[in-house]
Amino acid sequence: MYKHKKILLKKMKFLNNSIVVFFLVFNLTQAQSNYEFFGAIKLNGNDKTIITYRIVFEENNGIIKGYSISDLDGVHETKNTITGTYDRKTKQLSFQEKDILYTKSKFSQSSFCFVNFTGKVKLVEKVSKVEGNFKGLYKNKTKCIDGTVALVGSTKIYNLAGRVNKKIQKSKRIDQATKEKSNPLAILDSLKINKLSKDQNLSVFWESKNVKIQIYDAGKEDGDAINLYHNGKLILENYKVKLEKKTISMPLDLSIPNEFKITAVNEGTITPNTAKIVLYDDGRTFELLSSIKKNESAFITILKKE
């Protein structure tokens, strides 16, 4: 009898511990949620300019942190940090663009107009939408141009893209090459990649006095070779991009722009020449993919954060 009682007590202890662990995990999961939205912002004014827009954030106990990207894969593509709040009872969502992380635009930091949004949003899996008006403010909080936001949760978009892709792949009227190019899922994924093409420059706003750069092939090694220059000085010559990461660490003089030029020596066996490049600035990380043909160049300019 004593033996059975001892076994029963052990089982009850195990069960109680399991329940505690379950509720801890459940509460942590409930407290933090991740969201991604695709869509556009429309600026007020005579031309009613429409700009593609994507936001990614986590909501933790009502606090929002993440980033926005405007003009996806465009000449003015810009990534900003966003912060804000979400009230689950009132369904009120507020977020503000803060610091510029990077931009392909040639405008100065002080000329950027930041989105400040407040509206009622129901954050529900598969049917989430963010719609409403936003105020545009410069860094110094003076008014610039206002507009409207219209975004849809990525889950819904990917589900729709998946259904469209199935129809495309089943069609007998479309050749295989066109099917691959027209794959909406691949197109959506490509919009998430910060891609640098011929003569494009990515301006990155920097905090620390050093930079660590990693270069590697994120796909299949095909013999791509690049030259890397820093302010005109060759620091990596005829380097064959491999799956293994090549790391370069160096100090920066932030009193001047620090320009890194990537030049394609060849195009390997799979055109074009591509290299995954990751920049590390203390706790911040910047990822991009150079995609250029032989003798073409793309640029990264590190500037001191204002």
Q: What is the pLDDT along the chain (306 residues), one digit of tens a residue?
A: 444 434 434 434 433 443 333 333 334 344 568 899 999 999 998 778 999 999 999 999 999 999 999 999 999 999 999 999 999 899 999 999 999 999 999 888 888 999 999 998 877 756 688 999 999 999 999 999 999 999 999 887 777 767 877 887 878 778 787 767 777 667 666 667 899 999 999 999 999 999 999 999 988 899 999 999 999 999 999 999 999 999 999 999 999 999 999 999 999 999 999 999 999 998 899 999 999 999 999 999 999 987
Cα-Cα-Cα-Cα dihedral of 289, 197, 201, 282, to 10°?
A: 0
Cα first-last separation, the chain: 75
Distance, CA of 242 to CA of 226 (rounded, Å): 11
pLDDT at 126 (0 to 100): 60
Half-sphere exposure of 85 (CA within 13 A, CB side): 4
Q: pTM to 2 decimals? A: 0.81
Query: Which pLDDT score is estimated for 185?
Result: 67
Spatial contact of 33 and 58, defined as CB atoms under 8 Å apart = yes
What is residue 190's predicted lDDT score, i.e. its pLDDT? 66
Q: Report how far apart, in Å, the C-alpha atoms of 64 and of each of 34, 60, 225, 270 are.
A: 10, 7, 41, 41
Given this model, what pLDDT does residue 38 score?
Answer: 93
How does DSSP classify residue 143?
Answer: B
154: CB partners within 8 A, 6+ apart: 36, 37, 38
